[in-house]
Structure 1
């Protein structure tokens, strides 16, 4: 597979089509090495050809730890870049907890990988704000169909990797041991959101993408933060209009950084979408902000197991319309099985 590379144009812009529409595809957890499962690429290609998106987010865990050197890292990235590059579709990534699993032997960390991603002609990642935790935190405006002002915005967050062994001499036994968004990331979002509002004259509606889900994903599923059960989930289905499946834990960090609260206060984020938990595909409306998963795109990563192992492999599609009050109109999963890929 040959990938055309070129220096990323920092002046690249996203813009609504002349009909006022815009479509985003989220791929998650492609998570393979230089010898990628061909079904993963086939799923990406088929989704792009059928949905014809204007923008793609690969939302973390792009590659895994089996790669042994820089050449293999580059090939693993090539594998997932080529579907968009060959079709001229603009795209970006967020980092997940597994993307640096190989770093101890390859020497290629997130910053060096981001340089590779940014080298592709149609990639829109940028290094991110200095002094803010993580790699590649970013805000990408989508101009309206007349190119006069921002109609929508995309937030990309690096949700980190793993919790430290201990804090203040206390370990995390009994807790989820993944990372959490840091206070400086919340502050960066909050202040940048205000600047966007000042520049455009209104809060710019937006979607946020991060690999590891917020704790509120769990609260929403059970319509309560504590002692959720099947009965409370039935309440949650009605209260939060939940659709889709939950087949494993919401594997989040041990601390709540307050990002959801900040987004609720700002009023611009219409949805937060994660991956990480490969066999969760649900989405719901949590106090005015949609929280949702995309199932694993990668056939090389774990699935449901048994005969249904690949049933939830897929991608999430977002439909935007600049004439709609919230602009964000709809989202749905598309599955590999619908394309005859199993």
Structure 2
């Protein structure tokens, strides 16, 4: 018994040392982000982004998830992949298992030499109490890979991995597009000012310092480029405006009001569960509306929602769950909405974002 315990302790220390090494060698890790400099529209002025959401599995990932990722990457040939939160779940018991869970999702892009980045969701740290590996450790590990384009975390901003990733035009002499990565947090606290959240959604929300960072960085990009740089924003938990758009009202919408909203906001796709936002609207959408650079905000979190619409000039949309290891529609159609979202960009088009579409596992015969 003592021998087994000692072996377990030594194993844990070794794995912890691996993650400490990644953190200590910070310059090496950050050096990988020079891959950002290679992001560029092709000679025809085109660029393609794929969004995978909620791969959300452990070290023994459902093989259909990887099969789906491989199929999408091979068919779409994207220039950039965003794995938008809940990359892994909380089922791991050791740091080694966490590493394996991350590797499972990373390898489809790395094997193909495709640039990729992650955001964090509410489940990515569910294992931390057991494994000792937190989001900062995970971010450093992601950044150690050759084709990752995440950036080193700012200690002054709430969350982990908030960043902007600029993409150069086809000539390589100016930014044509920008990608915003936001950490939308995990869960609301048990209470604030002595008041609990019973009856409210209890997920997290974008904080004021993140909004300030977005606004200031957006302004600097405009000053440097000489124009507002069109962009897409990715965050795991949706903004409250997703709900407002779906119902055409922030005040207890109905099916009748939704039908009016479909026409007004050009909504397509499905809503099969609640739009699970945090309890507060902290104003990020308003800030984006003021800045005028963000063309769309895309989330996951709600696995069986796939809708997208145009909410007063900014697209709001979901990508359905990519991962087969988590909940779906249930019954015979459980995996119907497993898939990915694809974005088609053209530097010569107004706003650069030409269109977006969902592709589904069923399209590739995966079920």
TM-score normalised per structure 2: 0.91
In structure 2, how many angstroms separate the alpha carbons of the residues matched to 1:171 and 1:10?
41
Q: Deviation of residue 127 (structure 1)?
A: 2.2
Q: Deviation of residue 130 (structure 1)?
A: 2.8
Identify unmatched segments of 5+ residues in structure 2: 1-21, 23-27
Moved over 6 A (4+): none
Match of residue 170 from structure 1? 195
In structure 2, how many angstroms separate the alpha carbons of the residues matched to 1:121 and 1:75?
17
Match of residue 180 from structure 1? 205
Q: How does 1:226-241 map to 2 (within 5 A)?
A: 226-241=251-266
- 1:264 corresponds to 2:293: no
- 1:295 corresponds to 2:295: no
Query: What SS does structure 2 have at the residue aligned with 1:85?
Result: helix
Identify unmatched segments of 5+ residues in structure 1: none
Q: Deviation of residue 227 (structure 1)?
A: 1.8
Q: Deviation of residue 332 (structure 1)?
A: 0.3
Query: What SS does structure 2 have at the residue aligned with 1:97?
Result: coil
- 1:11 corresponds to 2:59: no
In structure 1, how many angstroms separate the alpha carbons of the residues matched to 2:194 and 2:329?
37
Q: Deviations over 1:219-240 (max 9, x none)?
A: 0000010120100000000000
8 Å contact 2:33–2:148 — kept in the other structure? no
Query: What SS does structure 2 have at the residue aligned with 1:30?
Result: coil
In structure 2, how many angstroms separate the alpha carbons of the residues matched to 1:166 and 1:312?
35
Match of residue 326 from structure 1? 351
Match of residue 335 from structure 1? 360
- 1:213 corresponds to 2:213: no
Q: Deviations over 1:165-200 (max 9, x none)?
A: 000000000000000000000000000000000000
Q: CA RMSD in A?
A: 1.0
Q: Deviations over 1:54-88 (max 9, x none)?
A: 00000000101111101000000010000000000
8 Å contact 1:67–1:102 — kept in the other structure? yes
Match of residue 152 from structure 2? 127
Match of residue 275 from structure 1? 300
- 1:307 corresponds to 2:332: yes
Query: What SS does structure 2 have at the residue aligned with 1:66?
Result: coil
8 Å contact 1:127–1:135 — kept in the other structure? no
Q: Which has the larger radius of gyration?
A: 2
Query: What SS does structure 2 have at the residue aligned with 1:214?
Result: coil
Q: Deviation of residue 325 (structure 1)?
A: 1.2
